[in-house]
Amino acid sequence: MGSSVLLWFGHLGTHIWYLPFLFVMTVVILPLLKKIQKGDFDFTWLKTMMKSNYGVFILVVPMILVRVLLKPIYSEYTDWADFVVYLFPFLYGFLFMSDPEFIKIIKKKTYLFLVVGLISSLYFLYTGSQSPENVQEYLHPSFSLYHLEISIVAMIIAYSWILFFLGFFARKLNFSHSILVPANVSILPIYVLHQTLIIVIGYYVVNTDLNTFLKFVIIAFTAIQAAVLLYKIIQTNNVLRFLFGLKKKPKRESSKSVNLENTMAFDK
């Protein structure tokens, strides 16, 4: 059983462990991302393959290989095996958004991903329900035929559902609205804040005699409002803006300049 410094992201960050994951991933493959952005690679062969009936699943092969080879060694959740597996969808997302032709291919295959995702998910649930040992073998596998089988199924599930929702949203929700730009900019600060607020508020609320549903409502709505309020404060200070991933505030900032800044950030 392996271990790594990556496990500290989960221990310290609980369910926002993926933010340092994304940071490390970006640092590691930044040179590759820059080359993709500049168009240094010719992906004609990949697009041709993805246009064939099931060729679009070629990109799931590296994910399968990584899980098969690394998961028995680094079996802990968010250890090296998971890190490398997650690295591929991260890279694929950047690749897809760098070339509209990939999005067109995915849109045409949207319902293929849905069908494959449903079938593979049902099979995964079926095998897990057959024996508790199957569940344990999935979570902490050894090098075995079942590990190979369930790794193939699990990676196909992950890949299919990610691309189904990407294709579905590209087909049905590809529109612009004035609220989307500032909302997009606010995602990271509010997301970073919400966990701490939920824990602090929940610490006091869960010990009351209120019913469970009312506790949930109080925690949810109080945390949301507090996160938005703190975000508004963060916007006014350049040090806080930097710490929460926002661009530096212009010296003279009107409501119009804020919208222009956000639009430029969104376009980039």
What is the overall mean pLDDT for the chain? 89
pLDDT over 80 (residue 266): no
- CA-to-CA distance for 55 and 256, rounded, in angstroms? 47
pLDDT in tens, 141-188: 999 999 999 999 999 999 999 999 999 999 998 888 888 888 889 988
pLDDT over 60 (residue 261): no
Token pair of 97, please?
């958004």
- Lowest model confidence (mean pLDDT) among 23-37, 128-142, 170-184, 248-262: 248-262
Residue with tokens 């530096």: 248
pLDDT at site 259: 54
pLDDT at site 252: 63
CA distances from 46 to 29, 65, 99, 156, 166 (A): 20, 19, 12, 18, 18
pLDDT over 70 (residue 125): yes
pLDDT at site 13: 64
pLDDT over 70 (residue 257): no
Mean pLDDT of 97-126: 96
Q: Which long-range contacts link 231-237 to residues 24+ away (Cβ below 8 Å)?
A: 231/186, 231/189, 231/190, 231/193, 234/189
pLDDT over 70 (residue 264): no
Mean pLDDT of 123-128: 96
pLDDT over 80 (residue 55): yes
- CA-to-CA distance for 12 and 116, rounded, in angstroms? 36
Provide the b/e sequence for 123-151 (b: ≥16 CB within 10 Å): ebeebeeeeeebeebbeebeeeeebeebb
